[in-house]
Copies of this chain bind each other. A is one copy, B any other.
Amino acid sequence: MNDKRLGRQTVALAHPPSVLSFSNIGGKFEGQGPLADFFDEISNDSFFGEKTWEKAESAMQKTVLQRALEKAELTPEDLDYILAGDLLNQCIGSSFGLRDFRVPFYGLYGACSTMGESLSLASLLIDGGYADRAAALTSSHFCTAERQYRMPVPYGSQRTPTAQWTTTAAGCTILGSDGPGPYVTHVTCGRIVDKGITDANNMGAAMAPAAYDTLSAFFRDTGYKPADFDLILTGDLGELGHAIVRDFFQRDGVDMGPQFQDCGLLLYDRKHQDMHAGASGCGCSASVLNGYLLRKMREGKWKTILFAPTGALLSPTSSGQGESIPSICHAVRLSAVRE
């Protein structure tokens, strides 16, 4: 056991990588929500100037990476790695969106945990001395996700009350070995957890045990308590899933407190925007992190954040074959200052 490793799942980074820059982009509904001012760009055109929604999703990834590079005054040649993935079959949002940058690329599949997974691996590659700078990014698009996972949007299918709304958004963080912060101090790698939930319209409940598993591992491995954080954020558990995680911890005698929140519950106006159980999609936690969270951390509002997005590792084929929904959660601790 190496001394960088705390317990089984957590790494304490010897030289915490710094956020160099971050960028996000959103669609029409994201621009009508309470975090509208924290987007670099809002597009009222769901096609983002492209001919198909899939190409639109690729355009979002291209845009956030380009803008994050500009903010950090970097060129693609300055990046040692890109780590990215998305929800689309064969992750075409990433491969087509990022093909023109000519940067060494590790493609990921972590469903809606991808922002956590990409940040984790980027941090490890930098801390390990394998990279000076790396970009972590992901995206989702309501219309590509509906077409692929449920029904094409023009069919006008009804949604169940437990259903969540796939965010049309992308987010990108560029990390470097040195910089102004925030800093990634810890990385907790999730395990696949499957408690037998089969309802693909209730992904929050399916993903809750994975969030509980990874957050528990983080607290166990590091000795931190929920009260040590200004914010603990799951990605897109939505109303139901988030409440389940809080209950799980309560049964352990752990009060997660009011600082325990969910990106999917922050992104839309729960009163005036009818998104049912909340936002979902890789782009949800990615766009909340790479706008609202990192900007407010830099402004001094929060000192430490535990960011723990979850992913549901199902496919329409697995659901069609009667399978349950395996899930995963990857957590990253962010600190505004070097500790």
Q: List the interface of chain A (C-beta within 8 A of B).
A: 1-2, 4-5, 8-9, 11, 51-52, 54-55, 80-81, 85, 87-92, 95-96, 98-99, 101-111, 117, 120-121, 124-125, 127-132, 148, 189-194, 313-318, 321, 323, 326, 328
Are the C-beta atoms of A90 and B108 separated by less than 8 Å? Answer: no
Contacts of A127 in B (CB 8 A): 128
In the complex the two chains form, is B2's CB within 8 Å of A90's CB?
no
> How far is it, in angstroms, between the C-alpha of A81 and the C-alpha of B124 when the chains are bound?
13
Q: A107-B109, A107-B328, A128-B124 are in contact. Are A191 and B316 (CB under 8 A)?
A: no
Cβ contacts A to B, 13 pairs, < 8 Å: A4-B130, A9-B104, A52-B321, A54-B317, A81-B189, A89-B90, A95-B313, A99-B194, A104-B190, A105-B191, A106-B108, A107-B108, A124-B130
Q: Smallest CB–CB gap between A330 and chain B, Å?
A: 8
Give Cα distance in the complex from A114 to B318, angstroms. 21
The answer on a CB contact under 8 Å between B132 and A129 is no
Residue of B nearest to A314 (CB): B90
Given contacts A89-B90, A90-B314, A92-B317, 10 further A-B contacts (CB under 8 A): A5-B130, A8-B104, A55-B321, A90-B318, A91-B109, A92-B318, A96-B313, A99-B192, A99-B326, A124-B124
**Residues B88 and A317 in contact, CB atoms below 8 Å apart:** yes
Contact across chains for B124 and A117 when beta carbons are under 8 A apart: no
Closest 8 CB pairs of A and B: A128-B128, A95-B313, A104-B189, A90-B315, A2-B129, A109-B109, A99-B192, A107-B109
Q: How far is the CA of A127 from the CA of B131 in the complex (A)?
A: 14
Question: Known contacts being A90-B109, A95-B326, A314-B90, is A132 close to B189, with CB within 8 Å?
Answer: no
Chain B residue with the shortest CB-CB distance to A51: B321
Q: Is the CB of A105 within 8 A of B192?
A: yes
Q: Are A130 and B2 in contact (CB under 8 A)?
A: yes
How many copies of this chain sit in the oligomeric assembly?
2
- A95-B192 contact given A107-B328, A130-B128, CB 8 Å threshold: yes
| Least Cβ–Cβ distance between A258 and chain B, in angstroms | 30
Contact assessment for B130 and A11 in the assembled complex, using a CB-CB cutoff below 8 Å: yes
CA distance A234 to B218 in the complex (A): 40
**A179–chain B nearest beta-carbon distance, Å:** 16
Known: A90-B313, A109-B90. A191 touches B104 (CB 8 A): yes
A108 to B105, Cβ gap below 8 A?
A: no
Residues on the B chain within 8 Å of A89, using CB: 89-90, 315-317
Complex CA gap A323/B323 in Å reads 32
Residues B130 and A129 in contact, CB atoms below 8 Å apart:
no
Q: How far, in angstroms, from A225 to B3 measured CA to CA in the complex?
A: 38
The interface residues of chain B lying within 8 Å CB-to-CB of A107 are: 108-110, 117, 313, 328
Bound together, the chains give a CA A88 to CA B109 distance in angstroms of 11
B92 touching A189 by the CB < 8 A rule?
A: no
Shortest CB-to-CB span from A101 to chain B, Å, is 8
A122 to chain B, nearest CB (A): 12
Which chain B residue lies CB-closest to A317?
B54
B8, B80, B101, B109: the one contacting A80 at CB < 8 Å is: B8
Which residues of the partner chain B approach A124 to less than 8 Å between Cβ atoms?
Answer: 124-125, 128, 130
